[in-house]
Amino acid sequence: MIKQSTRETALKRLEVFIGEWKVRLGGLVAQPEDEGALSVFEWALDGQFLIQRTEVPDPKFPTVLSLVAYDVNKDSYTQHYFDSRGVVRLYAMTFRDGIWTLVRSSPDFTPLDFSQRFTGKFSADGNNISGTWETGDGSNWKKDFDLTYARVKR
pLDDT at 99: 97
pLDDT at 28: 57
Cβ partners under 8 Å of residue 40, min gap 6: 19, 20, 21, 52, 53, 54
Per DSSP bridges, beta strands 37-44 and 19-24 are: antiparallel
pLDDT at 60: 86
Hey, what domains does the chain have and what are their CATH numbers?
4-153 (2.40.128.20)
For every residue of 4-46, which 3-state class applies, written as one string? Answer: HHHHHHHHHHHHHHCEEEEEECCCCCCCCCCCCEEEEEEEECC
* Separation CA 63–CA 120 (nearest Å): 20
Eight-state DSSP code of residue 123: -
Taking the whole predicted model, whether its pTM rises above 0.85 is answered as yes
Residues in the chain: 154
Predicted confidence (pLDDT) per residue in 50-99, tens digit: 999 999 888 888 999 999 999 888 889 999 999 999 999 999 999 999 99
Predicted confidence (pLDDT) per residue in 13-46, tens digit: 999 999 999 999 875 555 545 467 999 999 999 9
